[in-house]
Amino acid sequence: MDAAGVAASLRESGGVRVVAGGTKLGWGRPIEAPELSVAELDAIVEHNEGDLTAILQAGVPVATARAAFASAGQMLALDPPDDGATIGGVVATGDSGPLRHRYGAPRDLVLGVQVALPDGSLARAGSKVIKNVAGYDLAKLMTGAFGTLGVVTEVSLRLHPAPREWLTVVVRSDDPRALATAAAELTHRPLEADRLDLRWEDGAGAVLVQLCGPSARERAARIDGEVVEDDDELWAAQRAGQRGPVVLRVSTTQQGLADVLATANEHGALCVARAAHGLAWLRFESADAELIAALRARLGACVLLDAPAELRRAVDPWGPLTAEPLMRRIKARFDPHDILNPGLLLR
Amino acid sequence: MDGGRQLIEALRRICGDANVVTEHHALRTYESDGLLQYAAVPRAAVLPGTGDEVAAVVRACHEAGVPWVARGSGSGLSGGALPIEDGILVVLSRLRRILEVDLANQRVVCEPGVTNIAISAAVGPSHFYPPDPSSQIVCSIGGNEAENSGGAHCFKYGFTTNYVCGLEVVLPDGSVMTLGGKELDLPGYDLCGVFVGSEGTLGVATKITVRVVPTPESVRTLVAFFDSPGHAGHAVSAIVSAGMVPGAIEMMDNLSIGASEQMAGAGWPLDAGAALLVELDGPQSECDARFDEVRALCEQAGSNEVRVARDDAERQVFWKMRKAAFPAMGRVSPHYYVQDSVIPRTALSTVLDRIAELASEYDLQVGNVFHAGDGNLHPLVCYDGHTEGEAERAEELAGQIVLACVEAGGSITGEHGVGVDKKRYMPKMFSEADLDAFQKLRCAFDPDGLANPGKVMPTPRLCGEVPGPYREHPLEKAGLAERF
């Protein structure tokens, strides 16, 4: 089915579960609806090397796209976990990995979208150039909306030059507060790191700073830590830490991360965090509604990502939404009969 | 208008007599923004002093069914803050307090009337706020937020939308909502991302939370001169292909060099076909290593002279040349019309040739100033408004340039916004289905069409009722919906 077919099918639909790679179907409220897959939309439509932009259909696996761009010395600076994840799914969920530190989230890299809407239309917003303010930024509206306002069928993206040399400096501590302080200090230095993460596991932790470019070694020498040349495994582990039996994504501030690390330590949870952005992922082997409520009371906004369906029924996986009435007004205009992932985000 | 007098009275009660302007001669101060081709005198201009007053003003307008337009410093270049006759102009220049500098978390919370430069000043020298429109000493952060402003350093650092993470907004019904916050990735729709750049048509921001970042350790700036913009364009491609992301890459053509030279007096060669200003910033060692590479690439692309700024004073002179380009054009032409189109960078030569062709066809001069890294062109169409028909010819030429850029795969506006100026070009870039989708969003925020009507969308549209609640579709009843 092509994009126009996806749009046409929505007009007659009584409700669909939108899927592509199927790697994040366990997020949000559990829902029952026939699947509408965009996995077949898997063409790299354009790779404009000289412009550092690309247009991908929604079903293109991110790993496939990254490999294609790598051959031109370029990269799509999105490295969320799950190699089977598609660009459509990553954009729809707003998922990101350690490269977010320097390059931003999907919202920052998406230049334009094509979406199939419940009224059967196929609409575009944005453009394929890296600078554009014409029209409303529906690309940002669709990014992270979990397919509840439209089905993303195509995405245009900004690419970046791929680094040619890199290394990672690891600063270790077994005191969560001291580690958070070390991360904060590094965050406020003009290091121009590509990745700057925190990790806490089994009573010990580390700050990981990835430096790229010809002067990486020289810059690394100014940080008091261990230099790791072959750092692939370190970063694979950071990405993997964002998945598990029960994973909560915490939105806090840089200063709030100290409390998140301390919480991980107290509960024996694994924590992976983006130090500069105040974003953390807490991974538990198991959890109940009481624990989630206690974590929200202590840490603020926590979204339950990976979790057994019964837990996602027992607690609201999203927690309180700011400006919820406005979100409902938008949902009512775009999807008045609630056919797109019904109940997954707004009930 | 019925009830107009009562509305003015209500505004006086909310903001005080001194802050409600109704005299025609005083209102003329506000008749245009930075785009002087359009002018309209509103029924009244009101200058609220707090966010609560803004909400009360908007609520009063809503109750009276009177449209309103928000205005910051009035430096916008697309007529976004052009008043509506019979409408109310809400001037935000009294809301100019920085409410919180939370340096530990790299956030600043401020009112919309705060100037762009004041934010960097509040967090410097250790940190700065990257988006830097050329008007940054006067333009307000509220205006930047509404227009999603760019600037010279956006190629590396991104735009306003990449830095605004939280907003307090007044919706057109007068209700107050918080969108986003100091934290990122809060659950639900990215309403902050949707609101930024909506050109005042979805509501008005009364509090803005922005991200600030560490100031780069080192800045190195050079200017390279070329025979033509085409040659300079090759240097840009070579620099980008080499994997570099300079803080800024700006280009000026011969006409704009000549104009700026009269104002900034940097001593640049008046016979140069193009000047390329390249700035690298970042860690000292990285900058130094890359800087020699940039210089070599410029020379390889045919630059006949490269000047390196020896100190910050000279760097400021280089930038003055670039930032003076718009006002300086007034010295070589009685009037000019600024365009803001974007093209894929690789189409630069083709589009420049096309612009030159069009200029000679219309017998008008066109100066060119670009943010070359991101393909954002600012063609300056020169004309003499006192010569009959020349203004119309200039406008038509400007329109042809916009179309050439859209045909090359670009956009009608990169940073100035659609406003009133470019709304007629919207159908060249967007289909009817695209515009319908935009309208869905607008109706969700402003079903009565009171916030800055007549801007952005090419033709006036009304909002229908929201369709009723969920009904089971006949096909679903029949089991046909199972076919996916």
Give residue A329's identity as a one-letter amino acid code. R
- Strand-pairing partners, residue A122, are A116
Chain A residue with minimum CA distance to B201? A136
Give residue A104's identity as a one-letter amino acid code. G
Q: Identify whether residues A227 and A290 lie together within a single domain.
A: yes
Q: Assess whether pLDDT exceeds 70 at residue B468.
A: no
Q: Identify whether residues A126 and A26 lie together within a single domain.
A: yes
Q: Identify whether residues A77 and A186 lie together within a single domain.
A: no
Cβ neighbours around A87 below 10 Å, total: 29
Domain count within chain A: 2
A201 assigned to some structural domain: yes
Alpha helix segments (H runs only) across B301-458:
312-323, 325-332, 348-362, 390-407, 426-429, 432-445
Q: Does B51 touch chain A (CB under 8 A)?
A: no
Q: Assess whether pLDDT exceeds 90 at residue B323.
A: no
Residues 103-122 of B with CB under 8 A from A: 104-107
Q: Do B411 and A134 touch (CB under 8 A)?
A: yes
Cβ pair A38, A29 in contact under 8 A: no
Q: Which of B102, B177, B186 to mutate to test the interface with A (most CBs of A within 10 A)?
A: B186
Q: Does B174 touch chain A (CB under 8 A)?
A: no
Instruction: Look at the block and give the residue holding tokens 């979100």.
Output: A327
Instruction: Spell out a b/e string for B339-376, using b for 16 or more CB atoms within 10 Å of the CB, else e.
Output: bbbbbbbbbbeebbebbeebbeebebbbbbbbbbbbbb
Whole-prediction pTM value?
A: 0.96
- pLDDT in the model for residue B470: 45
Chain A residue numbers with beta carbons less than 8 Å from the beta carbon of B443 are 333
| Inter-chain CB pairs, A–B, below 8 Å | 296
A330 assigned to some structural domain: no
Q: Identify whether residues A89 and A138 lie together within a single domain.
A: yes
- Strand-pairing partners, residue A251, are A279, A301
Q: Identify whether residues A155 and A171 lie together within a single domain.
A: no
Q: Does B441 touch chain A (CB under 8 A)?
A: yes
Q: Does B173 touch chain A (CB under 8 A)?
A: no
CA A260-A263-A267 angle, to 5 degrees, is 145
**Closest CA relative to residue B481, chosen from A137, A32, A294, A181:** A32
The yes-or-no answer to whether B4-91 and B218-407 have a common fold is no
Q: Do A123 and B431 touch (CB under 8 A)?
A: yes
**Mean pLDDT along residues B406-429:** 96
Cβ pair B370, B134 in contact under 8 A: no
Cβ neighbours around B459 below 10 Å, total: 10
Q: Identify whether residues A133 and A267 lie together within a single domain.
A: no
- pLDDT in the model for residue B3: 56
Q: Does B341 touch chain A (CB under 8 A)?
A: no
The pLDDT mean for chain A works out to: 97
Q: Identify whether residues A179 and A149 lie together within a single domain.
A: no
Q: Chain B: nearest CA to A216, how far in angstroms? A: 8
> Looking at A161, A193, A211, which one is the last position of a domain?
A161
Cβ pair B258, B268 in contact under 8 A: no
Q: Assess whether pLDDT exceeds 80 at residue B483.
A: no
- Strand-pairing partners, residue B88, are B44, B68
Q: How many helices (H) and strands (E) does chain B have?
A: 17, 18
Q: Do B434 and A125 touch (CB under 8 A)?
A: yes
SS3 B14: helix
Q: Identify whether residues A87 and A59 lie together within a single domain.
A: yes
A318 assigned to some structural domain: no
> Looking at A132, A161, A190, which one is the last position of a domain?
A161
Look up the CATH architecture of domain B218-407: 3-Layer(aba) Sandwich (3.40)
Q: Which of B190, B461, B463 to mutate to test the interface with A (most CBs of A within 10 A)?
A: B190
Taking the C-alpha atoms of residue B279 and residue B251, their distance in angstroms, rounded to an integer, is 12
SS3 B370: strand
Q: What is the DSSP letter of A61?
A: B
Range of the domain at A79: 3-161
> Looking at A161, A196, A226, which one is the last position of a domain?
A161
Q: Chain A: nearest CA to B257, how far in angstroms? A: 24
Which residue among A134, A138, A338 places its CB closest to the CB of B412?
A134
Chain B residue with minimum CA distance to A342? B470
- pLDDT in the model for residue B476: 43
Chain A residue numbers with beta carbons less than 8 Å from the beta carbon of B187 are 251, 301, 303, 318-319, 321
Q: Does B349 touch chain A (CB under 8 A)?
A: no
Domain B4-91, CATH? 3.30.43.10
Chain A residue numbers with beta carbons less than 8 Å from the beta carbon of B217 are 190
- pLDDT in the model for residue A155: 98
- Note the pLDDT tens digit of each residue in B4-57: 899 999 999 999 999 999 999 999 999 999 998 899 999 999 999 999 999 999
Each residue's pLDDT, cut to its tens digit, for chain A (347 residues) gives 899 999 999 998 999 999 999 999 999 999 999 999 999 999 999 999 999 999 999 999 999 999 999 999 999 999 999 889 999 999 999 999 999 999 999 999 999 999 999 999 999 999 999 999 999 999 999 999 999 999 999 999 999 999 999 999 999 999 999 999 999 999 999 999 999 999 999 999 999 999 999 899 999 999 999 999 999 999 999 999 999 999 999 999 999 999 999 999 999 999 999 999 999 999 999 999 999 999 999 999 999 999 999 999 999 999 999 999 999 999 999 999 999 999 999 98
Q: Assess whether pLDDT exceeds 90 at residue B143.
A: yes
Q: Identify whether residues A297 and A228 lie together within a single domain.
A: yes
Structural domain boundaries of chain B? 4-91, 98-214, 218-407
Q: Do B198 and A9 touch (CB under 8 A)?
A: no
Q: Tell me which H or E stretch contains B205.
A: strand B204-211
Chain A residue numbers with beta carbons less than 8 Å from the beta carbon of B428 are none
Q: Do B445 and A326 touch (CB under 8 A)?
A: yes
- pLDDT in the model for residue B171: 98
CATH 3.30.465.10 fits B98-214, yes or no: yes
Q: Which of B184, B241, B475 to mutate to test the interface with A (most CBs of A within 10 A)?
A: B184
Chain B residue numbers with beta carbons less than 8 Å from the beta carbon of A34 are 481-484
Q: Identify whether residues A231 and A264 lie together within a single domain.
A: yes
Q: Which of B177, B179, B411 to mutate to test the interface with A (most CBs of A within 10 A)?
A: B411
Q: What is the ipTM of this complex?
A: 0.98
Q: Do A138 and B476 touch (CB under 8 A)?
A: no
Cβ neighbours around A185 below 10 Å, total: 12
Cβ pair A60, A42 in contact under 8 A: yes
CA distances from B285 to A216, B114, B294 (A): 9, 35, 15
CATH of the domain at A67: 3.30.465.10
Chain A residue with minimum CA distance to B171? A326
